[in-house]
Amino acid sequence: MPPVMGDVAPELAVSEWVQGMPTSLSKERDHVVLVEVFQVNCPGCFLYALPEAVNIYNRYRDEGVRVLGIATAFEDFDKNTLANLRALAEQGVVVGETKRALRQYGRSEGTLPFKIPFPLGMDVLTRIDGHVDDDKVMAFIRSQLPGFDSEGEDRRNDIIRRVRAYMLSKEYSAETFDTYGLQGTPSSILVDRKGILRDVAFGQTGTTENKVLTLLREN
């Protein structure tokens, strides 16, 4: 099951930190933590979400805010790779749809037009071996369809079948993405000073900074 707001936030699953010192949510206690989950091949992540995260980092890093970037993959596994994340962190290299979108909007001709200053890590990816765990199927369904249990039996079985087929169609599962029941990228995770999960949001909401400020003002 996805984590419950108000419970201790699950630890992030990171296969490698490619930028910054290795860290964890438990190490960041006493800080407000914003985790920006993105894919390397995700135009919206680089046009909107990551610039907002950089702005929050620059404004509030001296006031007790930590920003962490976690690159994940739930599609385009040939582009959303650890190697491409390293190239992004070390040289500002962008790829695929991200590169095309930045060029289309006049932001770049092949490299990232801004520096990501906070730690960057890669989600733990596990190759799908033809078997999908029943618990993971049900956790995904309940994170996306809160009313699932009130559906008729035929409808529930059809949903389970479709979700299982979807999961089997993926090459990899991504642990942080799955643990938090994320719907896509960009997604943000907010954790308060006590390590309590306070918010999970999908897409560019424009409200992240206000949420961070609310947590900063709490005692």
pLDDT in tens, 171-210: 788 999 999 989 899 999 999 999 999 999 998 778 999 9
CA separation for the pair 125, 128 (Å, rounded) = 9
Q: 200: which strand partners?
A: 189
- Is 67 in contact with 53 (CB distance < 8 Å)? yes
The angle that helices 208-217 and 50-60 make with each other, rounded to 10 degrees, is: 30
The token duo for 185 is 């990228």
Taking 70 as the threshold, does the pLDDT of residue 1 lie above it? no
CATH hierarchy code of domain 14-124+182-217: 3.40.30.10
Taking 90 as the threshold, does the pLDDT of residue 111 lie above it? no
Q: Where in the chain are the domains?
A: 14-124+182-217, 129-169
Provide mean pLDDT across the span 86-90. 97
pLDDT in tens, 43-61: 999 999 999 999 999 999 9
Provide mean pLDDT across the span 78-102. 96
CA separation for the pair 219, 79 (Å, rounded) = 42
- Is 214 in contact with 207 (CB distance < 8 Å)? no
SS3 113: coil
Q: What angle do CA 57, 194, 206 make, to 5 degrees?
A: 40
| Percent residues over pLDDT 70 in the chain | 99
Taking 80 as the threshold, does the pLDDT of residue 131 lie above it? no
Q: 120: which strand partners?
A: 19, 69
Query: Is pTM beyond 0.95 here?
Result: no
Q: How far is CA 48 from CA 55, 124, 179, 214, in A?
A: 11, 24, 24, 21
Least confident window among 32-41, 51-60, 123-132: 123-132
